[in-house]
């Protein structure tokens, strides 16, 4: 499925000092392209695996390709002296190269759908990843202090607010939704009542993924957190936080 030649041709062009005079920028862009090629061809192999496609591995690698070619790299390139047309070619060719893998993955994911609520102890719940069935969102019982009331702590993809506590009547509502086992209703409730929503849910494909199956990119300006974006394994990007 994967035709690496447009990307390898581009890589070979960029390895020429006439194209990218700065040696550091040249080495960086060539090795980044090699990493992207490796991730896409790995995803391709995982999808071709017999007797059945390894969806988890393919999705891990497409998410990885999105991460490697993501915002921070594009920002780094924009600050280099590489011509804009070359940068656009790199982005366009990478997007085009990954597309057949992503389409196939999307098709397999429609059939798979692992998103369910798993009960994990007395007041602990997990919304599972659509790809691997692993932990995408966890809800666990905790107390801020030994004498304070129990809270439900919800996990997040954010690097800043990793866990979000929910207490009082909201917690009661949420627990009863979790007990009913309807993941869609829980996600809708979180989006309605929580400032951070439910960031493990991709609004475009309406699926929930774990950390392994998202490309999570935090952008920092020194110690200031600018933004965090999550790209799902089929290439939809949304802001976290
Ligand atoms: Zn997963
Ligand atoms: Zn998506």
Q: How is 80-135 classified by DSSP, letter by letter?
A: SSS-HHHHHHHHHHHHHHHHHHHHHHHHHHHHH----EEE-STT-EEEEPTTTSSE
Q: What is the DSSP letter of 161?
A: -
210 alpha carbon, closest ligand: 1
Predicted confidence band of residue 123 (pLDDT cuts 50, 70, 90) = low
d(CA 109, CA 56): 10
d(CA 95, CA 89): 10
Ligand 2 centre distance from Cα of residue 204 (Å): 5
pLDDT of residue 122: 66
Cα torsion angle, 16, 34, 106, 203, sign: negative
Q: Which two tokens stand for residue 36?
A: 């992207």
pLDDT (tens digit, 9 = 90+) per residue, 67-115?
999 988 888 888 888 888 888 888 899 999 999 999 999 999 998 877 8
Which residues are within 8 A (CB) of 134 and not within 5 positions of it... i.e. 6 or more apart? 128, 210, 212
What share of the chain has pLDDT > 90, as a percent?
67
Mean pLDDT of the chain: 92
Which residues are within 8 A (CB) of 230 and not within 5 positions of it... i.e. 6 or more apart? 157, 199, 202, 214, 215, 216, 217, 237, 238, 239, 240
Ligand 2 centre distance from Cα of residue 21 (Å): 38
**Domain chopping of the chain, boundaries:** 5-112, 117-240
207 alpha carbon, closest ligand: 2
Ligand 1 centre distance from Cα of residue 73 (Å): 24
Cis preceding linkage at 51, omega within 30: yes
203 alpha carbon, closest ligand: 2
Ligand 2 centre distance from Cα of residue 234 (Å): 6
130 alpha carbon, closest ligand: 1
201 alpha carbon, closest ligand: 2
pLDDT (tens digit, 9 = 90+) per residue, 18-34?
888 889 889 989 999 99
pLDDT (tens digit, 9 = 90+) per residue, 170-213?
999 999 999 999 999 999 999 999 988 999 999 999 999 999 99
């Amino acid at each position: 499925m994967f035709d690496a030649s447009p990307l390898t041709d581009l890589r070979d062009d960029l390895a020429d000092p006439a194209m990218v005079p700065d040696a550091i920028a040249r080495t960086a862009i060539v090795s980044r392209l090699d990493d992207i090629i490796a991730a896409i061809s790995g995803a391709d192999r995982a999808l071709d695996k017999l007797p059945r496609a390894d969806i988890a591995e393919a999705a891990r690698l497409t998410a990885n390709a999105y991460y490697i070619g993501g915002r921070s790299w594009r920002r780094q390139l924009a600050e280099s002296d590489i011509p804009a047309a070359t940068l656009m070619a790199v982005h366009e060719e990478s997007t085009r190269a990954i597309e057949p893998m992503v389409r196939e993955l999307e098709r397999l994911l429609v059939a798979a759908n692992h998103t369910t609520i798993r009960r994990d102890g007395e007041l602990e719940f997990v919304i599972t990843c659509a790809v691997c069935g692993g932990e995408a969102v966890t809800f666990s019982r905790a107390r801020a202090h030994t004498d304070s009331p129990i809270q439900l702590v919800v996990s997040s993809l954010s690097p800043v607010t990793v866990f979000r506590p929910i207490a009082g009547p909201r917690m009661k509502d949420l627990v009863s939704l979790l007990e009913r086992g309807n993941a869609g209703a829980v996600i809708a409730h979180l989006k309605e009542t929580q400032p951070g929503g439910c960031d493990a849910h991709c609004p475009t494909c309406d699926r929930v993924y774990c950390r392994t199956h998202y490309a999570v990119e935090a952008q920092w300006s020194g110690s200031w957190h600018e933004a965090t974006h999550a790209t799902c394994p089929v290439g939809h990007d949304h802001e976290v936080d």
